[in-house]
Structure 1
């Protein structure tokens, strides 16, 4: 079944309250077209709209963890560069 027809059926399923069926159709499309990011966004939207995923993709803990990793990588690179410079000194 072509993607537009399947997306129309997803909309019909959501309107009729058949959320699990709509999610299954979207997962089937994603397995057939893994490079299509709009399908993944649509599935994430369905999960968010029906309360089965966090409404915000970013959390404070996630941002702080990312910042901590960045600081660690920068510190590692600084020590590495200083070590390389010391070799040629």
Structure 2
């Protein structure tokens, strides 16, 4: 079954409800892989696994603290090239 990446919107580890809904939808078409970036990303792992993520990829780097898209896109691209 194919992996389905779900970008995790969180605030210092607190996962927002739409992310949990996306994990449910992702399970319908493949194996949900959650990608959490930024401060507190590691703190999201338990909640995401509880809601169906088969893998949780986290990274906390200073460039994620800014509202720039490029570092987040680079992180997502590198997570897809691993498999």
Do they superpose with TM above 0.5? no
Alignment TM-score, normalising by the size of structure 2: 0.29
Alignment TM-score, normalising by the size of structure 1: 0.28
Give the number of the structure whose residues are more often strand, by fraction: 2
Query: Which has the bigger relative contact order, CA under 8 A and spacing at least 6?
Result: 2
- Greater C-alpha Rg: 1
Give the number of the structure whose residues are more often helix, by fraction: 1
